[in-house]
Every structure is written in C-alpha cells, then in structure tokens.
C-alpha cells in the first residue's frame, strides 16, 4: 500500500475501523505504510491459552498488573526492541490517542520493577494489539492474561493481533482471511464498550475461569 509521511491521530482511528493498520520499516523511518494482509491473526476472547507453568507463576502472587499507569514507558520499551515498526511519528500519535482514551497499556510489575507490558488501540468492542515487551521471562504473557481478564469483564468481542505467529498460536491465536476479519470487525466496531473501570490503578493477576467456547 502507499507510503504516507503525514497523518493525524484521527487518520489512524479511521484506518483501524477500515481493517488496516500502520507500520514503519524501523524506528528511524520517516514514513509509514498502511498494511492490509491477506491473512489476519486474532485470539478469540474466550480462548486465551495459559500454560501450567504460567498458571503457577500467576498463582505465586509475586506479580501485579496495572492499566494505563506507565503508557509512555511501555511504548518506549516496545519501540526499543531489536525489531520494531514504531517510528517517532507513531509515538506522537499513540500518545495523543492515549490522552484521548483510545490507546491503552498494560503493565506487569515484579518487586516494583516494570518487567512486561503491551499496548493497543480500543474502538468499540475491538482491541487492536500493537506491541509488547518482556524484561523478565513471561512478562508479556502475564500482560496478556491481565488484559484478557479485563477484556472479558468489559464485554470486548475482537482481539486483533494483526499477524499470526507461532508464539501467539501457543496462546490461542488463529488465522483468518482478511474478508472474514472485516466481517467480524463490522459487527464489533460500533458497539458501546469501555475499557475503564472505577478502580483502574492496579489489580491482582488471576487465572480466569473457563468460559463458553464461542469463536469470539
């Protein structure tokens, strides 16, 4: 798709609603490309896979999670990974969307240190996952567990991973066609769902109880 040098935060929101997402070649690239792959990755909301070892880690009560308390730190840690598509222009736009409550972060803490996290965009009943990081083994996986607990509680219907990877597959990701993805997107994007709760500072990690085996 066409490279673009100038775009607004509203342009990003419109792109997500149309089934495309932005990527730069690297953190120093001065342009982004709208990506519309033939195959899309999603994790059905009720189908996050949690390994036995991860359950033990959760049940140890050594970790805590928070939402939107360190968005910029999470964003920068995602951007400084060896392979990243987040350039400076996207950082500015994601910060604006965070201030407008469209961009959310999940933080995992161990001994008061940020050891894992992720961020994404929320529109309607959709969560568009953007990037994650780990400073300690399973840090990003713990963030996924915390996030899915929140998404199920709040009534989200679509968790978009953009692409399918074996790592995400082990956590329950599946691959669907772009056309099927866009059909799901249309049914979820206009629903009225909020990511926020009254006590939105921190929470305990817990292993969720199994829910019905619906596709989403």
| 17 domain-assigned | no
| 93 domain-assigned | no
Show contacts of 8-14: CB within 8 Å, 24+ apart.
8/93, 9/93, 9/96, 9/97, 9/100, 9/102, 12/93, 12/97, 12/121, 13/97, 13/102, 13/121, 13/123
The CATH number of the domain holding residue 116 is 3.40.630.70
Instruction: Estimate the crossing angle of helix 88-99 against helix 9-17, to 10 degrees.
Output: 80
Kindly state the helix (H) or strand (E) to which residue 113 belongs, with its residue range: strand 113-123
**Which domain, by its residues, includes 157?**
38-87+102-204
68-114 pLDDT, tens digit per residue, is 999 999 999 999 887 788 999 999 999 999 999 999 999 999 998 99
| 22 domain-assigned | no
| 27 domain-assigned | no
pTM of the predicted model, to two decimals? 0.89
| 167 domain-assigned | yes
Q: Please, what's the b/e burial string for 144-163 (b: 16 or more CB within 10 A of its CB; e: otherwise)?
A: bbbbbbbbeeeebbbbbbbe
| 23 domain-assigned | no
**Structural domain total, the chain:** 1
162-215 pLDDT, tens digit per residue, is 999 998 999 999 999 999 999 999 999 999 999 986 555 545 554 444 333 222
| 134 domain-assigned | yes
| 164 domain-assigned | yes
């Amino acid at each position: 798709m066409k490279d673009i040098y100038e775009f607004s935060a509203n342009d990003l929101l419109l792109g997500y609603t149309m089934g495309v997402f932005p990527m730069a070649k690297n953190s120093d690239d001065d342009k982004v490309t709208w990506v519309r792959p033939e195959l899309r990755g999603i994790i059905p909301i009720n189908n996050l896979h949690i390994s036995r070892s991860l359950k033990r880690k959760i049940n140890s009560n050594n970790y805590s999670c928070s939402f939107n308390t360190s968005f910029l730190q999470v964003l920068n840690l995602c951007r400084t990974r060896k392979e990243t598509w987040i350039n400076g222009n996207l950082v500015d736009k994601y910060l604006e969307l965070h201030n407008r409550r469209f961009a959310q972060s999940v933080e995992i803490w161990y001994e008061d240190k940020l050891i894992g996290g992720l961020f994404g965009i929320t529109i309607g009943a959709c969560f568009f996952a953007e990037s994650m990081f780990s400073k300690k083994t399973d840090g990003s996986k713990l963030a996924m567990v915390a996030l899915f607990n929140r998404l199920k509680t709040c009534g989200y219907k679509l968790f978009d991973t953009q692409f399918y990877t074996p790592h995400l597959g082990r956590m329950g990701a599946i691959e669907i066609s772009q056309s099927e993805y866009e059909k799901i997107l249309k049914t979820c994007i206009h629903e009225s769902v909020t990511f926020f709760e009254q006590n939105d500072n921190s929470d305990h990690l817990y292993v969720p109880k199994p829910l019905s085996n619906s596709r989403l």
